[in-house]
Amino acid sequence: MEFRMTPAGRLLRELAMVERTQAASLFTELGSTGDAAVIRFPGGEVTLQLDGTRGQIVQSLRKRGATVRAPFEGEPDTIPGDPGRHEVWCELLDDLGSSSRHLCHLDPRLTGLEVSRGETTAWILVGNGLRTMVYEVKLDGGEMTAAAAVDIAGAFGEGG
């Protein structure tokens, strides 16, 4: 079986690799506009095509005045034993991107609409055209996410 990420999922992974190298979390909200994504960060926002690369993301952010470190290259090797909020947020973005194709496991119309974060919580807004649901992930629980898209699809199927 061939593994394929959705275009939005691939962009989420690229954003996760940019986020991983930052001293503190940079992205506060990620929303889809169909063939592009709007990324909000303190002090502004950028619109990125879904096929945007890590380098293009960094370049777009710098053009908007954001101070951004170079993105993570390659694949992360280890998962911290006691992750902080920033590490959990990065892993959540990576996990959502990597497993984005699983979001429609129970409902083929189910899609991610927005991912946002506060100080201690992240929210994932999903919908299928008939209803929406917000799925909450604690960032300060000291545990990394695993298969978040599968969990979200299951919760949506149970009625939220």
Closest CA to 153 of 99, 104, 101, 109: 104
Residue 70 lies in a domain: yes
- Which pLDDT value is given to residue 133? 94
Residue 138 lies in a domain: yes
How many domains would you assign to the chain? Answer: 1
Note the pLDDT tens digit of each residue in 101-145: 777 777 888 888 899 999 999 999 999 999 999 999 999 987 777
User: Is residue 33 packed enough to be buried (19+ CB in 10 Å), middle (13-18) or exposed (0-12)?
Assistant: exposed
Residue 1 lies in a domain: no
- Which pLDDT value is given to residue 80? 64
pLDDT band at 2 (very low <50, low <70, confident <90, very high): very low
What's the chain's length in residues? 160
CA atoms of 94 and 13, how far apart (whole Å): 5
Residue 2 lies in a domain: no
- Which pLDDT value is given to residue 92? 92
Closest CA to 26 of 43, 38, 49, 13: 43
Residue 45 lies in a domain: yes
Per the CB < 8 A criterion, the answer to whether 46 and 33 are in contact is no
Residue 132 lies in a domain: yes
- Which pLDDT value is given to residue 1? 29
Phi, psi of 117 (to 5 degrees): -140, 150
Note the pLDDT tens digit of each residue in 62-104: 999 999 999 988 777 666 677 889 999 999 999 888 887 777 7
Token pair, residue 123, equals: 């929210």
pLDDT band at 38 (very low <50, low <70, confident <90, very high): very high
Range of the domain at 19: 7-157
